[in-house]
Amino acid sequence: MANSRFEYVKNFERENYLLPDTYIVVRVDGRGFHKFSDEYNFEKPNDLRALNLMNKAAISLMKEIPEIVVAYGDSDEYSFLLRKDCELFERREAKLITTFSSSFSSYYQFYWAEFFVEPESILKPYRLPTFDARAVCYPNSGKIRDYFSWRQVDCHINNLYNTVFWNLVSKGNLTPEQAENRLIGTLASDKNEILFKEFAINYNNEPEIFKKGTVIVRELSNWKNDQEKVINTELTKKNLKNLKKADLKLYHTDIINDTFWQERPYLLI
């Protein structure tokens, strides 16, 4: 930058550096997606095209930013995990959230026509898909697991509600207001009973992507040593340098219980 008498204005700039030695979760979230989904006639309660589009945008972002080790998404949001030792953008908060939100928005728009092929689905300048982002630091692996458990529980709760709600509207001939009033105070067991008795739907048989969301993980295939004994120093020295190049795998699986994380201890070192 050339020196000039106006350069003093740079002194007004302030950077917020995220805490060192903490995990960073960057969550992107669709802006105004209720109106957006109505504008482009998303299927209710779930539009598989939209979910697959979200997944493709997330995979593209993980390829662009190899520091992301695992991501979880459902509906119009995605959470991306950066390891404790990540120094991406020197951990500058503004740089992280603007890069994640702008890149995700760009990928979503770029791949839109691949999933929404109808002429009436062409994106309109007054209703474009955009995403905002936030970055949160977490001190240890337990808090990270609780975070992703929270998001998956939220996915299940919202999907069960929406599945019942939209069946009451589309098949039960209720207005949205009537359906909402019908569900006030109901428990999960009540919602499952409505689905089964009134619409012959067993919620357990609903697609896993709807109930559990999507996990994208960098999969190290040969990280164990010959004796099947794993210690963190071995993982750090021998394998973690290859984590950025590891294959991306997509799952619709439980991330609340231990199995997913125990099979991939390198994610939370």
> What is residue 240's predicted lDDT score, i.e. its pLDDT?
67
Instruction: Determine whether the annotation assigns residue 85 to a binding site.
Output: no
> What is residue 234's predicted lDDT score, i.e. its pLDDT?
60
> What is residue 136's predicted lDDT score, i.e. its pLDDT?
98
Dist. CA 215–CA 267, nearest whole Å: 13
Q: Determine the 3-state secondary structure of 58 from DSSP.
A: helix
Instruction: Determine whether the annotation assigns residue 33 to a binding site.
Output: yes
Give bridge partners of residue 71 from the DSSP assignment: 80, 216
Kindly list the domain boundaries of the chain, sorted by start residue.
Answer: 14-150+214-268
pLDDT tens digit string along 181-235? 999 999 999 999 999 999 999 999 999 999 999 999 999 876 554 434 455 556 6
Instruction: Determine whether the annotation assigns residue 32 to a binding site.
Output: yes
Dist. CA 82–CA 88, nearest whole Å: 9
Q: Determine the 3-state secondary structure of 248 from DSSP.
A: strand
Low-confidence stretches of the chain (pLDDT beneath 70): 1-2, 222-240
Instruction: Determine whether the annotation assigns residue 76 to a binding site.
Output: yes
Neighbours of 51 (CB within 10 A): 21
CATH architecture of 14-150+214-268: 2-Layer Sandwich (3.30)
Instruction: Determine whether the annotation assigns residue 34 to a binding site.
Output: yes
> What is residue 225's predicted lDDT score, i.e. its pLDDT?
47
Instruction: Determine whether the annotation assigns residue 37 to a binding site.
Output: no
Instruction: Determine whether the annotation assigns residue 92 to a binding site.
Output: no
Locate all alpha helices (DSSP H) within 131-268, ordered by sequence.
Answer: 141-170, 176-183, 188-199, 208-212, 232-234, 259-262
Instruction: Determine whether the annotation assigns residue 31 to a binding site.
Output: yes
DSSP state of 210: H
> What is residue 227's predicted lDDT score, i.e. its pLDDT?
39
pLDDT tens digit string along 80-90? 999 999 999 99
